[in-house]
Amino acid sequence: MSNSAFVVIAEFQVKPGMMAAFLAAAREDARHSVADEPGCRQFDVISPEGEEDTVVFYEVYDDRAAFDAHLETPHLARFREAFPPLIIEERPVRFAGRQYP
């Protein structure tokens, strides 16, 4: 397996009082992504220090095609339905190529 990978970074600003609900939906999406998608290598849900209202997804896929397959999954559809009332803002998604490891 090559070390190169397709990285997706998604960031959300969560409404006050909605973090627990947002994290529940995010964790469910992340769990299913790693368990059910052969091309999903990693899906981290993180909270940057000092930004209590922010959640970042760091997702690693084999390639762009694996990410495109992720976009069609039932668990992502459930997340997309659940999160809009929980957030203030969905920041622009960033894509990257992982260089190491």
Q: Please give the Cα distance from 52 to 43 (Å, whole number).
A: 20
Q: Where are the beta strands (DSSP E) in the chain?
A: 5-14, 40-46, 54-61, 87-98
Predicted local distance difference test score (pLDDT) of residue 101: 82
Chain segment 38-88, per-residue pLDDT in tens: 999 999 999 999 999 999 999 999 999 999 999 999 999 999 999 999 999
Instruction: Report pLDDT for 71.
Output: 97
pLDDT at 3: 61
**Among 3.30.70.100, 3.40.190.10, 3.30.450.40, 3.40.1280.10, what is the CATH number of 10-98?**
3.30.70.100
CB contact set of 27 (below 8 Å; sequence gap of 6+): 45
How much is the pLDDT for 1? Answer: 41
Domain boundaries, the chain: 10-98
Quote the pLDDT of residue 17: 98
pLDDT of residue 4: 84
User: Is residue 99 very low, low, confident or very high in pLDDT (cuts 50, 70, 90)?
Assistant: confident
Distance of CA 43 to the CA centre of its chain: 6
